[in-house]
Structure 1
C-alpha cells in the first residue's frame, strides 16, 4: 500500500442534526480536496454531545440514530471513496450508546460503543463491552471514544487484534476546576495530548485523534485534533481551535520501522503480568 493521506478534525457540533450534516458535508469536501482517504470526525458530531457531565436530567441528549438508519446511510453516501469515522448517539433498542461508526460508500465498515464513562455520562448512555479491530480499504482500524483512551488496555486490545491505525474521537473538555484561561495551558488539554502520544507509542501504531471544539452547554472543548506516528511524535495538529490535521504516512512501513528493534507487542511477557491485567489478552497477538 502506498502512503495514506489521513486527517483528524477539530470542530464544533450542536443539537441541530441538519446543521451537523451540513458541517460534515463541508468537512468531507475539504478533505477530499486535500486527497484525504481516511477522515476522523469528533465524538457526537451527529447531534452534539451532552450539555454537562453532571448527569443533568433536564438534558434530553442528542437524537438516537440507528446504525442502519438514514442518517448513517447519508454519511456513507457523503464518504464515497473515502473512509469516514464519526461519532453519534446510537439507538440500541432498549438503550442508547455513545458510539462511533466507520463508513465508506459501500456502507458501514465498523461500529464501536464507548466502554468507559466519565463522571455522569452513564446517566445518558449504556456502556459498550469490548474493543475490536476491523479491515477497511485503507488498512486495519481500531476505534475508541474519548475516555476510552485513558485506559491502556483498550488501545492494547485493538493493537493485539491487528489494528494498524487507532482512531479516537472525543468531546474532551477543559478542566472543570482551576480552568486555565488559555486552553493551550489547560491541564486536561495536556492529558489529552499525553494519552494520544502514549497510546501510539506503546502500541507502535498510527493514531488519529479528533475532538470537538468551541463550547456546548457548560463544556469548553480543547480541540487539539492530531495525527501521531508509531514513535509517539505528533505529525500534524490543529491546536485548540477548529481545523483539520492532515498527514501522509506509509502505514505498513511506519509500523515495520517502529517495531524493527524494539517490538512492544512482540516483546510482551504476558505470563509475568498476572491476572491483574486479565487473562483474555494473555496469549493473543504475540507477534508484532
Structure 2
C-alpha cells in the first residue's frame, strides 16, 4: 500500500451566532495550535465564522454575511500560510445581488476554493448552491459537503466519480441525530471508498463527535463532546488498497442506473 500520509486536525467548538469577531479569533487560535503539530489540514464546523441559525433575517444576513474573498477570509488565509496548512471553515456568504449561501471555504497556499451547500434543510432559508466541484490541492483531490448534503448518496458519489479522494463535511448536527448521522458518514465513505472528514459543533445541543471515516467504512477517529483541536494522521494510500481489495468501480453498471427523477 503506497504511503500518502497527511496530518488532519478536527477543530470543534460552539460558534456564537453573530459573534463573528469572537468566532474568527477562536479559529485563529485553533489554527495556531494545529500548526504546532505539523498539521496539513484543519477542518472547522458549518458556519463557524458566523454561528448557525436556520433562518437568519434579511437584517441579520446584512450584518454578518461576507462577500468572498473578505477581510476575515484573508486573515484566516494569512494564518494558514504562516503555519503551512490548509484551512476549511464555514461562513454565511452573500453575493452582490443579496443572495445568502451557506458556504464552506478551503484556503491553502494563497489559493481559494469555496462550495455552496446544495441541499437545504427544510428548516433553513439559505439559497441552494448549484454545483458539486472537486478541486486539487497539494493534499489531495477533495470535495466538500455540508451537513444535510450527507443525506444524499448521489452527492458523495458525484464527487467520488469526479476524482475526490476525501470529502470535508463541516456540520451542525444535533446530538439527537448523532448515531444516525454517524452511520451515514460511514456509509458515504464505504460506498465510495474515500475518506470523509467531519467537524461538528460542541455545546449542549450538538455535543461534538467530529470524526474521520475510512474507505472501509470504519471509524478512524472520533472526538469527544469537548471543544478542542483533535489531531490524527490519515493515509490516503488506503483508498487504492480498498479499491483493489473490493473492485467496485470497474464493475459499476451506469447503463442500468437511469433515474427518471
Q: Give the TM-score normalised by structure 2.
A: 0.91
Kindly report which structure 2 residues correspond to 1:202-213, keeping only aligned pairs within 5 A, or say none: 202-213=191-202
For the 8 Å contact 1:102–1:111, the answer to whether it is kept is yes
Structure 2 partner of 1:103 = 107
Query: 2:122 aligns to what SS in structure 1?
Result: coil
- Distance change >3 Å, CA 56–CA 114, structure 1 → 2: closer
| Per-residue deviation, 1:82 | 0.5
Structure 2 partner of 1:83 = 86
Aligned-residue Cα RMSD (Å) equals: 1.8
- Distance change >3 Å, CA 244–CA 198, structure 1 → 2: farther
Structure 2 partner of 1:3 = 5
| Per-residue deviation, 1:210 | 0.6
Distance 1:237 1:258 in 2: 21
Distance 2:29 2:250 in 1: 42
Distance 1:29 1:266 in 2: 43
Kindly report which structure 2 residues correspond to 1:126-145, keeping only aligned pairs within 5 A, or say none: 126-145=127-146
Gaps of 5+ in 2: none
- Distance change >3 Å, CA 9–CA 267, structure 1 → 2: farther
| Per-residue deviation, 1:247 | 2.0
For the 8 Å contact 1:236–1:246, the answer to whether it is kept is no
| Per-residue deviation, 1:47 | 1.2
Residues 228-273 of structure 1: CA deviation (Å, up to 9, x unaligned): 211111111112332333221221x111111013233332111111
Gaps of 5+ in 1: 176-187, 279-288
For the 8 Å contact 2:7–2:38, the answer to whether it is kept is yes
| Per-residue deviation, 1:116 | 0.8
Distance 1:265 1:86 in 2: 31
How many matched pairs?
254
- Distance change >3 Å, CA 151–CA 35, structure 1 → 2: same
Residues 89-147 of structure 1: CA deviation (Å, up to 9, x unaligned): 01122201000000024131x2100011112212xx11001211100011111001100
| Per-residue deviation, 1:30 | 1.4
Distance 2:190 2:245 in 1: 14
Structure 1 partner of 2:224 = 239
Query: 1:212 aligns to what SS in structure 2?
Result: coil
Residue 275 of structure 1 pairs with residue 229 of structure 2: no
Query: 2:141 aligns to what SS in structure 1?
Result: strand
Query: 2:29 aligns to what SS in structure 1?
Result: helix
- Distance change >3 Å, CA 56–CA 167, structure 1 → 2: closer
For the 8 Å contact 2:33–2:229, the answer to whether it is kept is no
Structure 1 partner of 2:157 = 156
| Per-residue deviation, 1:44 | 0.6
Distance 1:208 1:263 in 2: 23
For the 8 Å contact 2:47–2:90, the answer to whether it is kept is yes
| Per-residue deviation, 1:59 | 8.1
| Per-residue deviation, 1:56 | 6.8
For the 8 Å contact 1:66–1:92, the answer to whether it is kept is yes
